[in-house]
Amino acid sequence: MKGLYPKEYVDSTYEIDFEGLYKKGYRGVIFDIDNTLVPHGAPADERATAFFRKMHEMGYATLMLSNNKEPRVKLFCDAVNAPYIYKGGKPKTEGYYKAMEVMGTTVENTLFVGDQIFTDVWGANRAGIYSFLVKPIHPKEEIQIVLKRYLEKIVLFCYKRYKRKSND
């Protein structure tokens, strides 16, 4: 089950110490969009646009990897000035590798941030990318995601127990 565990589990994308991670050598970040950066289906808001402006000023390459259709992904990415891959096929690894190719980064200097274990985190882990799981921004989600959230609770329970034991 460890292949499903994120490297880090945090409350929000916006609380991750990207400056510290940049100092450690990370140069690219692949993001999921819905419930990772904005509520499901929402356009980029002022917080998201300011966040991406800061990320780019720091020197990060960014890219959105989404399983969603192009109109939804393009709308968000145009607003935050970032490239994207739509219908990304997560958790397959091909989208993650393509994202790194587009950003000019490697497995060693790329991060992934998403809100779902069975697509986002599992795919990033399979690709060898350092993964962050964030809590969903808003409870409104499509039915197939709602069903997966029940299974995620089991994985998160095991993950938290594993982290406690490894910190002892």
In this prediction, residues 138-165 reach a mean pLDDT of 77
DSSP letter for each residue of 113-153: EES-IIIIIHHHHHHT-EEEEE--S-S---HHHHHHHHHHH
* Count of structural domains, the chain: 1
Q: What does the pLDDT look like over 95-109, one tens digit per residue?
A: 999 999 999 999 999
Rg (CA), the chain: 15
**Element (DSSP H or E) covering residue 77:** helix 70-80
Average pLDDT value for the chain: 92
Q: How confident is the model at residue 142 (pLDDT cuts 50, 70, 90)?
A: low
pTM, two decimals, is 0.90
pLDDT score at 144: 66
Q: How confident is the model at residue 159 (pLDDT cuts 50, 70, 90)?
A: confident
CATH code at position 39: 3.40.50.1000
Q: What does the pLDDT look like over 67-97, one tens digit per residue?
A: 999 999 999 999 999 999 999 999 999 999 9
Stronger pLDDT, 37 or 140, i.e. the higher one: 37
Q: What does the pLDDT look like over 39-61, one tens digit per residue?
A: 988 999 999 999 999 999 999 99
In this prediction, residues 140-167 reach a mean pLDDT of 77
Q: What does the pLDDT look like over 8-35, one tens digit per residue?
A: 999 999 999 999 999 999 999 999 999 9
Q: What is the DSSP letter of 99?
A: H
Show the domain range for 98. Answer: 2-167
Q: How confident is the model at residue 114 (pLDDT cuts 50, 70, 90)?
A: very high
